[in-house]
Amino acid sequence: MRTLLNRKRTLSRKRIVFATAAATALSMMVSLSPAVHAQAPNPVGANAEKYGIAVVDVSYIFKEHARFRATMEGMKKEMESIEAQLKADRDKIAQTEQERNKYNVGSAEYKKFDEDVARMMAEFNLKMTRLRKDFLEREAKVYYQTYLEVVEAVGYYAKRHNIGLVIRFNGDTVDPNKREDVLREINKPVPWQDNVDITPDVLALLNRDAGQARNPAAPPATQIPPR
C-alpha cells in the first residue's frame, strides 16, 4: 500500500511539473507571437507566392525609402549651402563691378577693376562647375547604391517566397487631365496584375533598419539578414 501511494504521489508530482512546463511554454509562445507576427500581411501581394510571379513599384520605394529620403534631405541642405557660397561670390563680383563703373572707361583704375572682375568671374565659373559636378556625381552614387539595395531586397524576398519572376511596374494613380500621366499609363509594362504586388514587403525590408546610420559612399550589404 505504501509503495502504491508513493507511486501515485510521484505521478502526481510529474503531472504537476509537466503542466507547469507546458503552461510556461505556452505563455512564452504568446509573448513571442507579437514579435513573430509583427509585420501585417500584405493583401496586395497575397497571390505572389501562389503564382510565382510578382510586381514591384521601384519609384514608390524610392519615395518611401527612409534612409534614402534622409540622405537626399541632407544633400538638399548641402546644395543650399553651396548655393549660398556661390551667391556670396556673385555679390562680391557685383560689388567689384560697381567699383569699376565709378571710373571712366579706359582709365587705369577702370582697367584694374575690369581685370579683377574678369579674374573673379573665371574663378567663379570654375568653382561653380566643380562644386555642382561633385554634387551630381555623389547624388548619382546614392541613387545607384539605393537601387542596388532595392534589387537585393527584391531578390531576397523572391527567393524566400518561391517567386521566380518580379516585374517592375508603376502603381501611381492616373490623372486623365495630365498628358504625362496618361502616356505613362498607356506605356507601362504591366497593364493588370492579380494581387502580386510585393512593394510593401520590399519596402518593409529596406526600412526596418532605417534608424541605423549608413555612409552613402559605402557599398550595399551583400545579403539582407533574415528576421
Q: How confident is the model at residue 40 (pLDDT cuts 50, 70, 90)?
A: low
Q: Is the domain of 50 the same as that of 23?
A: no
Give the residue carrying C-alpha cell 582709365: 107
Mean per-residue pLDDT over the chain, rounded: 81
- Domain contains 213: no
Do 106 and 191 have their domain in common?
yes
Do 5 and 20 lie in a common domain?
A: yes
| CATH assignment of the domain containing 77 | 3.30.910.20
Same domain, yes or no, for 15 and 73? no
> What is the rounded average pLDDT of the residues 144-150?
96
Q: How many domains does the chain have?
A: 2
State yes or no: pLDDT of 218 exceeds 80: no
Question: In this structure, is residue 218 part of a structural domain?
Answer: no
Q: Tell me what the mean pLDDT of segment 169-173 comes to.
A: 90
For the stretch 105-114, pLDDT in tens is 999 999 999 9
All residues at 6 or more sequence positions from 227 whose CB lies less than 8 Å from its CB, including other chains? 208
Same structural domain, 18 and 121: no
Of 39-53, 68-82, 213-227, least confident by mean pLDDT is 213-227
With pLDDT > 90 as the criterion, what percentage of the chain qualifies? 67
Flag the least confident range among 2-16, 98-112, 120-134, 204-218.
Answer: 2-16
Contact between residue 5 and residue 158 where contact means Cβ atoms under 8 Å apart = no
Name the residue with higher pLDDT: 107 or 29: 107
Least confident span in 57-66, 161-170, 172-181, 213-222: 213-222
Whether the per-residue pLDDT at 87 is higher than 60: the answer is yes
Assess whether 50 and 25 both reside in one domain.
no
Q: Which residues form the domain of 55?
A: 39-207
Give yes or no: residues 119 and 33 share one domain.
Answer: no
**Residue 169 and residue 126 share a domain:** yes
Has residue 211 got a pLDDT over 60? Answer: no
User: What band does 59 get if pLDDT is binned at 50, 70 and 90?
Assistant: very high
pLDDT of res. 208: 87
pLDDT of 100:
95
Please check whether residue 53 is in contact with residue 196, taking contact to mean a CB–CB distance below 8 angstroms.
Answer: yes
Report whether pLDDT(126) > 50.
yes
User: Are residue 48 and residue 143 in the same domain, yes or no?
Assistant: yes
- Whether the CB-CB separation of 166 and 199 falls below 8 Å is answered with no
23 three-class SS:
helix
pLDDT band for position 192 (50/70/90)? confident
The pTM score is 0.68
CA atoms within 13 A on the CB side of 38: 8
Together in a domain, 139 and 195: yes
Q: What are phi and psi of 105, to 5 degrees?
A: -65, 130
Q: Is the pLDDT of residue 220 over 70?
A: no
Res. 226 pLDDT band, cuts 50 70 90: very low
Q: 61 and 21 in one domain?
A: no
- Residue 82 and residue 22 share a domain: no
* C-alpha 25: how far from chain center: 39
Residue 216 lies in a domain: no
